[in-house]
């Protein structure tokens, strides 16, 4: 039972900064030119869709005004293009998916979490036909610039089912609390991605013998609005970049990548923190050293190299970069809090994944970990995809129960029943997922 930050309603979003909320959520701004663009934009379409009707006098609607239909509603704000996600932050937009909505084998676009570090490029100004990707860096022999059409024409296309998980997924459970988005368990998804292999593109530009790392740069804007400031620029070692499943992708689930998930181009390095899978991709550099871009140094996406006591002030030099994510699982059916009859068995379903590794087994418990029952575990559709598991459990009598799930990777590492080692930024929480069941 996670004690995370509650959903943020539309009133709270607008209370902090009405015009900022307008711009982030609808693309609506008080500026006349931007206002005119809004009148023919996808932001207006999103607003009218949520209101359920055309807005005849929208040109007179003041910027920062909450439509009365929403102001009078107790419903939580839903990001356009997403369904029933929990909004954690609007500066920048970050939202997660409740576990019971992750039951699909292939995560639908409208249920893939959103993790942004800056302000996405304006959707209306993105032209995929002219979008370019530069390959450069001190360890690149022949720097080149590709259009998306060049990538599609010059390289073989691949489609993989690849999981992405935010490094801070589960942060809300750490104590002392760690700063950052208070993710519960929903910063995970496993859609299909289509594109070209990162390896093929890098090799076409020539990789020097001294190459150690890659780094990416996207087209998002720093939250300050200063064009020269970079929101995030991370990367991976060459060994990860050159894996078969590392992609430069232009499609998700057979369609354009959703805008908030990186349209029109992003890099995918599945199994590692999703922050290594850069969105709105404009440049990749081949480095002769560990990439030192924004959020690659200090405490960002790093954990203590050695275990520390909760609350410890860890020096930056004692922090190590997060690489493969730990083994983890979710119960995606049923939803936590349901009522069930003890006279019949209950079906369970869920997903499990283990960073760069496969999952060997998943177990469930109905007696707080006193005993464990092995589930039926399905093989991944391809390497780095999550795995489906199923089970049926029975309850001996009426009362309150918790169903726990515990996955074990192929190296024998299992999820802890309690929180893993504390770290200053609240990364890598892979404690067992548990749901509540009232049996009558």
pTM of the model: 0.83
| Span 328-439 CATH architecture | Sandwich (2.60)
341-398: per-residue pLDDT in tens? Answer: 988 999 999 999 999 999 999 999 999 999 999 999 999 999 999 999 999 999 999 9
What mean pLDDT comes out for the span 168-197? 95
Residue 344's pLDDT is 93
At 6, the pLDDT band (50, 70, 90 cuts) reads very low
Measured between alpha carbons, how far apart are the two ends of the chain, in Å? 20
Residue 249's pLDDT is 98
CA dist 401 to 85, 116, 334, 364, 366, Å?
Answer: 27, 37, 13, 12, 6
Residue 3's pLDDT is 37
Query: In the chain, which residues fall in CATH 3.90.420.10?
Result: 125-321
What mean pLDDT comes out for the span 12-38? 56
At 254, the pLDDT band (50, 70, 90 cuts) reads very high
Is pLDDT above 60 for 283? Answer: yes
125-321 folds as Sulfite Oxidase; Chain A, domain 2 (3.90.420)
State how far Cα 324 lies from the chain centre.
Answer: 15
Is pLDDT above 50 for 83? Answer: yes
What mean pLDDT comes out for the span 76-100? 83
Residue 54's pLDDT is 65
308-347: per-residue pLDDT in tens? Answer: 999 999 999 999 999 999 999 999 999 999 999 988 999 9
Query: In the chain, which residues fall in CATH 2.60.40.650?
Result: 328-439
What mean pLDDT comes out for the span 397-410? 96
Residue 100's pLDDT is 96
What mean pLDDT comes out for the span 265-289? 98
Residue 45's pLDDT is 59
Question: 255, 267, 128, 127: which is closest to 201 by C-alpha?
Answer: 267
Is pLDDT above 60 for 66? Answer: no
108-139: per-residue pLDDT in tens? Answer: 999 999 999 998 999 989 999 999 999 999 99
CA dist 239 to 212, 242, 244, Å?
Answer: 8, 5, 10
């Amino acid at each position: 039972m996670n004690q995370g930050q509650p959903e943020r309603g539309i009133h709270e979003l607008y209370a902090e900064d009405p015009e900022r909320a307008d711009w982030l959520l609808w693309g609506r701004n008080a500026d006349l030119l931007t206002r005119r663009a809004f009148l023919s934009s996808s932001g207006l379409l999103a607003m009218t869709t949520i209101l359920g009707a055309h807005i005849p006098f929208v040109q007179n609607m003041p910027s920062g005004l909450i439509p009365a239909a929403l102001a009078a509603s107790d419903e939580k704000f839903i990001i356009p293009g997403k369904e029933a996600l929990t909004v954690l932050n609007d500066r920048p937009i970050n939202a997660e998916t409740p576990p019971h909505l992750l039951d699909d084998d292939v995560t639908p676009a409208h249920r893939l979490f959103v993790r942004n570090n800056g302000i996405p490029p304006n959707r209306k100004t993105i032209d995929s036909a002219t979008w370019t990707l530069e390959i450069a860096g001190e360890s690149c022999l022949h720097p080149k610039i590709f259009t998306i059409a060049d990538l599609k024409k010059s390289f073989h296309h691949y489609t993989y089912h690849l999981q992405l998980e935010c490094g801070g997924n589960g942060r809300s459970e750490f104590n002392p609390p760690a700063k950052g988005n208070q993710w519960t368990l929903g910063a995970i998804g496993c859609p299909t991605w289509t594109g070209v292999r990162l390896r093929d593109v890098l090799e076409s530009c020539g990789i020097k013998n001294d190459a150690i790392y890659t780094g990416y740069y996207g087209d998002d804007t720093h939250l300050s609005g200063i064009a020269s400031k970079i929101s995030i620029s991370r990367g991976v070692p060459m060994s990860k970049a050159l894996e078969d499943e590392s992609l430069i992708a232009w499609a998700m689930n057979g369609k354009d990548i959703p805008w908030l998930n990186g349209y029109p181009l992003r890099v995918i390095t599945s199994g590692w923190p999703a922050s290594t899978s850069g969105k709105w991709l404009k440049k990749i550099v081949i480095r002769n050293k560990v990439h030192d871009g924004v959020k690659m140094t200090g405490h960002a996406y790093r954990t203590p190299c050695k275990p520390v006591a909760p609350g410890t002030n860890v020096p930056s030099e004692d922090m190590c970069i997060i690489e493969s994510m730990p083994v983890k699982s979710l119960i995606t059916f049923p939803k936590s809090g349901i009522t069930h009859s003890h006279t019949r068995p209950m079906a369970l379903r869920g997903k499990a994944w283990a960073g760069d590794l496969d999952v060997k087994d998943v177990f469930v418990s109905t007696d707080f970990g006193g005993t464990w029952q092995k589930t039926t575990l399905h093989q991944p559709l391809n390497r780095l995809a999550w795995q489906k598991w199923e089970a049926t459990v029975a309850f001996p009598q009426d009362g309150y129960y918790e169903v726990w799930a515990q996955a074990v990777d192929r190296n024998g590492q299992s999820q802890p029943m309690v929180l893993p080692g504390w770290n200053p930024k609240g990364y890598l929480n892979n404690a067992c997922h548990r749901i509540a069941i009232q049996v009558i």
